[in-house]
């Protein structure tokens, strides 16, 4: 695809316009989602992995793009699929979330064993970070990796004890990217990442009946054996693996939300332009027209912020954590606002089971929680602002002495 056209100002802000080929590609994706993927989604069972849908995503080459796309292209892909079929978008995104750590941190053997099946839609991946007592506070996870005694298991291996909860694609995934405490240090320093096949002895799970229609479950680890060959990256560096994944996918969660908001907005424009009431159409009422204007403006602002965050990721900007958090925060909160007002303007028909807005109303709530709740995103944004302020102050205080300051970002990178 042709790169996105943009410009950078002195403040680091950016303005964007998609190229004609990008707009055409997004239009083709929306058509594909509506005409091929939506019928497959409707045949699936809510709360269960839809393997025919995954296979179709593989056949269309869309799963492969998870491993070849930059952040911007991933956002365009997720936004376009979400507009036409949220189930297809979510199925694709969960494959990326679960398998991205394997792509970035896995061994050659792990990548060769698992990624071709993920790309084809034959193998289902899952990202297992959250726990009953460690959701938003991911560094507080308690799943324990206990070292095997000499001769008691895989050489240099561990046994996993504990549980995970709110895991998308569980318990039906074929493998899990699992984050466990191996004890190299306190907090985030003592976490390692493992690739755990679903058939490992001691691993069990159950599906959870949730409001959102995609599969979510809980996992129990009763002495699950893992060895050095199962590590993703180095021992004690698992939190970095998790954050690397989330920094890529947070802007695209925002893109998912923007796709839903745009679908709700377009449906509402069509409805209020045709629905007669009070001697005219609803759109003639200033209160309705102004509400639509607000919905459209917020959606466009969120969309541009998502693209800016993706552009920052693709350019290797140090502002990625802040921009990704801003994009996810604004886009998910905006989508909730737009869908809620779309339901209000449609009236009771939007509450009927099977209506587009009834579906979106259930779908739109979860993204404000997963991959970092809105409150977590606000915390990240504030920390980054204060870090930038501290870096500037540190630079000013040592400038006269000719000493290069050690920034908080560099310190964290050395410790994570």
Instruction: Provide the annotated active-site residues.
Output: 371
Element counts in the chain: helices (H) and strands (E): 13, 11
3-state class (DSSP) for residue 399:
helix
Question: How buried is residue 358: exposed, middle or buried, by Cβ count under 10 Å (0-12/13-18/19+)?
Answer: middle
**Quick one: tokens of 35?**
């005409």
Rounded to whole angstroms, how far apart are CA atoms 183 and 145? 8
Residue 15 structure tokens: 């303005």
Q: Is 253 helix (H, G, I), strand (E, B) or coil?
A: helix
Backbone angles phi, psi at 352, to 5 degrees: -75, 135
Residue whose pair of structure tokens reads 């102050």 in the numeric block? 393
Question: CA dist 96 to 65, 68, 211, Å?
Answer: 9, 11, 22
CB 5 within 8 A of CB 22: no
Q: How far apart are CA 363 and CA 360, in angstroms?
A: 5
| Adjacent-strand bridge partners of 14 | 8
Those residues whose C-beta lies under 8 Å from the C-beta of residue 243, and which sit 6 or more positions away, are: 416
């Amino acid at each position: 695809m042709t790169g996105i056209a943009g410009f950078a100002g002195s403040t680091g802000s950016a303005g964007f316009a998609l190229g004609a080929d990008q707009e055409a590609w997004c239009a083709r994706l929306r058509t594909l989602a509506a005409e091929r993927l939506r019928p497959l989604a409707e045949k699936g069972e809510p709360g269960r992995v839809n393997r025919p849908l995954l296979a179709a995503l593989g056949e269309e080459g869309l799963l492969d793009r998870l491993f070849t796309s930059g952040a911007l292209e991933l956002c365009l892909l997720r936004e376009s699929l979400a507009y036409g079929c949220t189930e297809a978008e979510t199925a694709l995104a969960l494959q990326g979330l679960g398998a991205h750590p394997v792509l970035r941190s896995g061994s050659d053997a792990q990548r060769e064993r698992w990624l071709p099946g993920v790309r084809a839609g034959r193998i289902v991946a899952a990202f297992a970070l959250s726990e009953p007592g460690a959701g938003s506070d991911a560094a507080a996870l308690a799943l324990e990796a206990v070292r095997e005694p000499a001769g008691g298991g895989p050489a240099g291996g561990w046994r996993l004890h504990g549980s995970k909860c709110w895991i998308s694609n569980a318990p039906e995934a074929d493998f899990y990217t699992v984050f466990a405490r191996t004890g190299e240090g306190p907090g985030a320093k003592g976490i390692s990442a493992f690739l755990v096949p679903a058939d490992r002895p001691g691993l069990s799970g159950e599906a959870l009946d949730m409001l959102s229609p995609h599969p979510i479950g809980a996992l129990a680890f009763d002495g699950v054996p893992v060895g050095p060959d199962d590590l993703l990256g180095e021992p004690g560096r698992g939190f970095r693996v998790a954050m690397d994944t989330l920094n890529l996918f947070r802007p695209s969660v925002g893109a998912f939300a923007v796709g839903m908001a745009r679908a709700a907005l377009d449906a509402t424009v069509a409805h209020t332009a045709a629905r007669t009431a009070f001697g005219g159409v609803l759109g003639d009422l200033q209160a309705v027209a102004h509400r639509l204007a607000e919905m459209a403006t917020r959606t466009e602002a969120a969309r541009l912020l998502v693209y800016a965050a993706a552009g920052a990721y693709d350019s290797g900007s140090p502002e990625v954590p802040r921009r990704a958090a801003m994009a996810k925060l604004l886009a998910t909160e905006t989508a909730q606002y737009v869908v809620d007002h779309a339901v209000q303007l449609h009236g009771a028909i939007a509450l009927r089971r099977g209506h587009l807005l009834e579906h979106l109303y259930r779908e739109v709530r979860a993204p404000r929680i997963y991959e970092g709740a809105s409150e977590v995103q606000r915390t990240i944004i504030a920390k980054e602002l204060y870090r930038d302020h501290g870096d500037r102050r540190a630079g000013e205080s040592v400038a006269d002495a000719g000493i290069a300051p050690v920034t908080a970002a560099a310190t964290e990178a050395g410790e994570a």
